[in-house]
Amino acid sequence: MRDLQSCSGFMGALTPSATLAISAKAKAMKADGIDVCSMSAGEPDFDTPEVIKEACIAALKAGKVGYTPASGLLELKQAIVKKFREDNQVETTTGQVVIAPGAKFSVFSAVAALCGPGDEVIIPAPYWLSYPEIVKASGARLVAVETSADDNYELDPAAFEAAITDKTRLLILNTPSNPTGAVYRPETLRAIAAVAVRHNVMVLADEIYEKLIYDPEFPHVSIASLSPEIADLTVTVNGFSKTYAMTGWRLGYLTAPAWLTKRIVALQSHSTSNPTTFAQYGALVAFDQAKADVERMRRAFAERRDLIYSLISAIPGVKCVRPQGAFYIFCDISSFGLGSEEFCTRLLEEELLAVVPCWSFGAEGHIRLSYACSEENIRKACSRLAAFCANLSARN
């Protein structure tokens, strides 16, 4: 008789999220009354803007609880088309837009609809830890291309071109970046786009943090806006979780070339079906009626960025690049001679500080802290990190 526990499909061998694991451990310790300071989860500490919640409540009261088309509510698609045109200078149609239960599923469905066994997907490292697992789930192979702090953790176009083979189907590009906080410069994006067009490689542009940028010299640019040729090769993914503090609402969206959108819609129709109906009605007002809320949150994150960067930069042995976007700071802790997982485990045990080890982000010797939290929490976290690092140095 076969041992069923030894059988595994592409998706049966995925590695659980290290971010969620350490967040769960920190929450369990807090539940036991332990004074844990958590800087692990990528979740805004703000509430969803009232105008969005009220629109959702109104939809519920109006009985808008039935199915929508698998690809989402037409009215919301129309708002997304308008958003892409006005905010990103990306032209699309409602037929090319797919609304999904979270931007993570938008990434998953795009990769799964495009890639399969024998294909290769290029991802700049450090990367968001879910990208490799999503590629693995499709049966394709990850090709990681290292980036460097000296180049703002931006993918070198020449290194991208050197990694391309006849099996390359896709480049996954994330700007602003999780975990580095880097915002790609327009000239870098233009050079990457030229390589992609030259070799007919698709680009998945994950722009979930696009509104969380802090420096005028690092504006957000959508790679699909750079030319009609690269637009025809680009899947642009976004969502409501980070910008509008709607993490639990699970709403993401993408736009893609029409031929690929048809595949994505088919996949979604057989997996999740439509995203939650009343949540879509809440999101419908976000683009036009929550702008002031978004700017208020962005300004708060900018102040927190400045604070955490100044505090961590002062810790001997820790190196970091000033992030330009998102709400993460990426730190090199290799000088202490510990792997990132051991460093984070001991940091939680000895100083009750939860941060994310970045071995699963393709960056051993680094950690990631989320500053989507209060100034008080940031100061407490940096004090505990400084004490831990000082103790490590003293032992050495």
Tokens 């239960």, located at residue: 101
Please say which residue of 248, 268, 288 terminates a domain.
288
Pair 15, 34 in one domain: yes
Pair 305, 160 in one domain: no
Which residues in the chain belong to E strands, given as ranges? Answer: 37-38, 97-100, 120-125, 141-146, 168-174, 202-206, 234-239, 252-255, 319-320, 328-332, 353-354, 356-357, 366-370
Pair 269, 304 in one domain: no
Pair 364, 254 in one domain: no
Which residues in 66-192 belong to E strands, given as ranges? Answer: 97-100, 120-125, 141-146, 168-174
- For the domain that residue 157 is a member of, what is the CATH number? 3.40.640.10
46: nearest Cα among 230, 292, 217, 258: 292
Categorize the per-residue pLDDT at 7 as very low, low, confident or very high, splitting at 50, 70 and 90: low
Quick check: 6 pLDDT over 70?
Answer: no
Asked if residue 176 has a cis previous peptide bond (ω within 30° of 0), the answer is yes
Question: Does 274 reside within a domain?
Answer: yes
Q: What is the pLDDT of residue 395?
A: 80
Categorize the per-residue pLDDT at 340 as very low, low, confident or very high, splitting at 50, 70 and 90: very high
Question: Does 55 reside within a domain?
Answer: no
Number of domains, the chain: 2
Categorize the per-residue pLDDT at 205 as very low, low, confident or very high, splitting at 50, 70 and 90: very high
Pair 245, 298 in one domain: no
Pair 26, 160 in one domain: no
Q: What is the pLDDT of residue 324?
A: 98
Pair 185, 245 in one domain: yes
Pair 107, 147 in one domain: yes
Pair 168, 246 in one domain: yes
Query: Which amino acid makes up residue 311?
Result: L
Pairing of strands 141-146, 120-125: parallel
Give 126-182 pLDDT, tens digit per residue: 999 999 999 999 999 999 999 999 999 999 999 999 999 999 999 999 999 999 999
Q: What is the pLDDT of residue 1?
A: 60
Pair 159, 32 in one domain: no
Question: Does 57 reside within a domain?
Answer: no
Pair 258, 212 in one domain: yes
Categorize the per-residue pLDDT at 16 as very low, low, confident or very high, splitting at 50, 70 and 90: confident
Lowest-confidence segment of 22-31, 37-46, 157-166, 269-278 by average pLDDT: 22-31
Pair 26, 78 in one domain: no
Domain span holding position 279: 66-288
